[in-house]
């Protein structure tokens, strides 16, 4: 007897999800909001392949390289799914010898991480990147990137904190503390966990796993457990004779002096927290680095603190952690071409932003479709469904740019039509007598659940001529008092 075939497991792959209805409309709103900001700053769109040659991606992501999805050899080339949009952008710059551009890209990336869908951590997810490439005077593009961040989250009605540090200051700090050059990147990756782990856990990793002497780890702790405004932290670093004597730190402080001035002019200064624990694990960063988190609910301001918060404390109210991140990478393009092209950019995590906006909606879920008018009909015993007339009205609305639907049944029942229209703000109701006079009724919906509108509601709607229908519909859609928007 032949064995039964195993049943197919009907589910999305781990760390992925399907998008539909109101969720997809909300995500598209995020895309549109972000891309409009990018265009406002002169951004040029770019699209790159979803997979790259493995050699393009290798050696760019530090300890996170283990998260790259490698593909099987399918014809002589070893490829991998892109991990981010930055490295493909650098490859494109070098390949096409582009010397200067403001570029933006919205696309999916892939990471073989442990997913946590409720917190917006996925294996397949969207990034929205904006980068400025080219030779410019110091910190001017960096300041504009911070402005792009601020404008984007203002448009999304999100209060944020831009956590910021400088790779030269961080590397100089490690050198002063006594970290050997070959251990700077591994120690940097450990320090980067301080937004999720308490100091004693990170210190234990440095000493027991990375082989750092305990006294050196303690010295690092004296420095990295400090944060404040840009001006406060510049003063703090300069007040330490050992730190202020280091050449790398001097160069980083010169950049931060400029950024302080520029950010005040661009009205981003108050959103910035200069946090010496911010490290960003990616190997290609060379200058300013930043991460964006939701502004904590507490109004307590701390310039310096003796210990880092316990795990999870710095995550947002929706538990998603950082919602955008980026920095300056001046040497990445030169890895692929003969000429270095300095770059600075930001990447917005759309899935995490979506998680926050979705949580903020609560029970007030958005509409699952963008239809403004439902065309319906009713009549007595001789009622034939008025299908051709419903088609005619729908065509009239479509030609006027109004989103409309009607039932795909010849003789639909009126309760079924109201049920189908329950998330639509307006109905155009056709009746045999009214049509004979060249008129239809416009009814505002949303006063009851599907199928209930006609039972108890004495409002039969506004009687208008077919010639005035489009004008009256547009008037109603422009008002803000409709129960369904």
Residue by residue, DSSP assigns 58-126 as TTSSGGGGGG--BPPPSSS--EEE-S-SHHHHHHHHHHHT---EEEEEEEEEE-----BGGGTB-SEEE
Provide the pLDDT for residue 454.
45
Which pLDDT tens digit goes with each residue over 454-474?
A: 444 556 789 999 999 999 999
Measured over the CA atoms of residue 446, residue 450, residue 454 and residue 455, the dihedral's sign is: negative
Q: How many degrees, rounded to 5, is the angle at CA 446 between CA 440 and CA 447? A: 95
Provide the pLDDT for residue 458.
58
Provide the pLDDT for residue 310.
37
The Cα–Cα gap between 49 and 44 comes to: 17
Provide the pLDDT for residue 383.
87
Q: Which residue has better confidence, 393 or 8?
A: 393
Give the pair of three-digit tokens for residue 80.
Answer: 């991998």
Q: Is the pLDDT of residue 150 over 90?
A: yes
Provide the pLDDT for residue 68.
92
In terms of DSSP bridges, do strands 101-110 and 324-328 run parallel, antiparallel, or are they unpaired?
Answer: unpaired
**To which H or E segment does residue 377 belong?**
strand 373-378
The radius of gyration computed from the CA coordinates of the chain, to the nearest angstrom, equals 29
Which pLDDT tens digit goes with each residue over 271-287?
A: 999 999 998 867 789 99
Phi/psi for 290 (5° steps) reads -155, 155
Least confident among 238-242, 252-256, 314-318: 314-318
pLDDT band per the 50, 70, 90 thresholds, residue 79: very high
Q: Is the pLDDT of residue 318 over 70?
A: no
Give the pair of three-digit tokens for residue 426.
Answer: 């307006």
The DSSP symbol for 182 reads G
Residue 156: other Cβ atoms inside 10 A: 18
- Section 223-249 average pLDDT: 96
Give the pair of three-digit tokens for residue 384.
Answer: 């034939």
- Section 403-430 average pLDDT: 93
Least confident among 136-145, 268-277, 302-311: 302-311
- Section 384-395 average pLDDT: 95
Per DSSP, the residues of 25-73 read HHHHHHHHHHHHHHHHTT-EE----SEEEHHHHTTSSGGGGGG--BPPP
- Section 220-225 average pLDDT: 94
Provide the pLDDT for residue 447.
56
Q: Is the pLDDT of residue 422 over 90?
A: no
**To which H or E segment does residue 374 belong?**
strand 373-378
Q: Is the pLDDT of residue 258 over 70?
A: yes
Q: Is the pLDDT of residue 92 over 80?
A: yes
Q: Is the pLDDT of residue 256 over 60?
A: yes
pLDDT band per the 50, 70, 90 thresholds, residue 3: low
- Section 167-180 average pLDDT: 94
Provide the pLDDT for residue 307.
38
The Cα–Cα gap between 31 and 26 comes to: 9
Q: Is the pLDDT of residue 452 over 60?
A: no
Task: Share the mean pLDDT of the chain.
Answer: 87
- Section 155-182 average pLDDT: 94
The Cα–Cα gap between 350 and 31 comes to: 8
Provide the pLDDT for residue 47.
97
The DSSP symbol for 116 reads B
pLDDT band per the 50, 70, 90 thresholds, residue 298: low
Least confident among 113-117, 220-224, 316-320: 316-320
- Section 73-96 average pLDDT: 91
Provide the pLDDT for residue 300.
45
The share of the chain scoring above pLDDT 70, in percent, equals 88
Q: Which residue has better confidence, 311 or 426?
A: 426
Q: What is the pTM of this model?
A: 0.83
Phi/psi for 81 (5° steps) reads -65, 145
- Section 126-140 average pLDDT: 96
pLDDT band per the 50, 70, 90 thresholds, residue 330: very high
Provide the pLDDT for residue 305.
38
Q: Is the pLDDT of residue 253 over 90?
A: yes
Provide the pLDDT for residue 8.
83
**To which H or E segment does residue 237 belong?**
helix 230-238
């Amino acid at each position: 007897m032949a064995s039964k075939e195993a049943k197919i497991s009907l589910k999305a792959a781990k760390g992925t999800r399907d998008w539909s209805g109101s969720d997809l409309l909300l995500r598209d709103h995020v895309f549109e909001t972000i891309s409009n900001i990018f265009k406002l700053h002169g951004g040029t769109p770019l699209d790159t392949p979803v997979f790259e040659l493995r050699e393009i991606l290798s050696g760019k992501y530090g300890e996170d390289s283990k998260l790259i999805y490698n593909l099987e050899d399918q014809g002589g080339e070893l490829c991998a799914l892109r991990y981010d949009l930055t490295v493909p952008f650098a490859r494109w710059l070098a390949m096409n010898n582009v010397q200067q551009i403001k570029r933006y890209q919205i696309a999916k990336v892939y990471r073989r991480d442990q997913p946590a869908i409720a917190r917006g951590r996925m294996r397949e997810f969207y990034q929205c990147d904006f980068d400025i490439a080219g030779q410019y005077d110091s910190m001017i593009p960096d300041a504009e990137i911070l402005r792009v961040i601020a404008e984007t989250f203002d448009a999304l009605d999100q209060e944020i904190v831009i956590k910021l540090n400088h790779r030269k200051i961080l590397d100089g700090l490690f050198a002063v503390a006594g970290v050997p050059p070959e251990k700077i990147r591994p120690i940097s990756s450990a320090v980067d966990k301080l937004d999720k782990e308490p100091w004693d856990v990170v210190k234990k990793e440095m000493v027991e796993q990375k082989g750092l002497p305990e006294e050196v780890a303690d010295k690092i702790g004296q420095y990295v457990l400090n944060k404040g405004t840009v001006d406060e932290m510049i003063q703090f670093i300069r007040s330490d004779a050992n730190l202020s004597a280091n050449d790398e730190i001097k160069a980083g402080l010169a950049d931060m002096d400029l950024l302080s001035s520029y950010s005040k002019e661009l009205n981003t200064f108050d959103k910035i927290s200069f946090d010496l624990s911010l490290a960003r694990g990616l190997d290609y960063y060379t200058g300013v680095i930043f991460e964006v988190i939701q502004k904590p609910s507490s109004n307590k301001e701390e310039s310096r603190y003796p210990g880092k918060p316990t795990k999870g404390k710095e995550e947002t109210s929706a538990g998603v952690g950082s919602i955008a991140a980026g920095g300056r990478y001046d040497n990445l393009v030169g890895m692929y071409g003969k000429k270095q092209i300095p770059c600075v950019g930001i990447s917005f995590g759309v899935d995490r932003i979506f998680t926050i906006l979705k949580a903020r909606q609560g029970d007030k879920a958005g509409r699952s479709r963008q239809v403004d008018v439902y065309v319906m009909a009713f009549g007595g015993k001789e009622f034939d469904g008025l299908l051709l007339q419903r088609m005619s009205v729908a065509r009239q609305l479509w030609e006027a740019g109004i989103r409309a639907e009607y039932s795909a049944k010849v003789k639909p029942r009126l309760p079924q039509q109201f049920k189908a229209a329950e998330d639509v703000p307006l109905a155009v109701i056709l009746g045999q007598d009214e049509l004979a006079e060249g008129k239809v009724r416009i009814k505002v919906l949303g006063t009851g659940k599907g199928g209930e509108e006609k039972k108890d509601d004495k409002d039969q709607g506004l009687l208008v001529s077919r010639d005035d229908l489009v004008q009256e519909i547009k008037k109603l859609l422009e008002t803000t008092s409709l129960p369904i928007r």
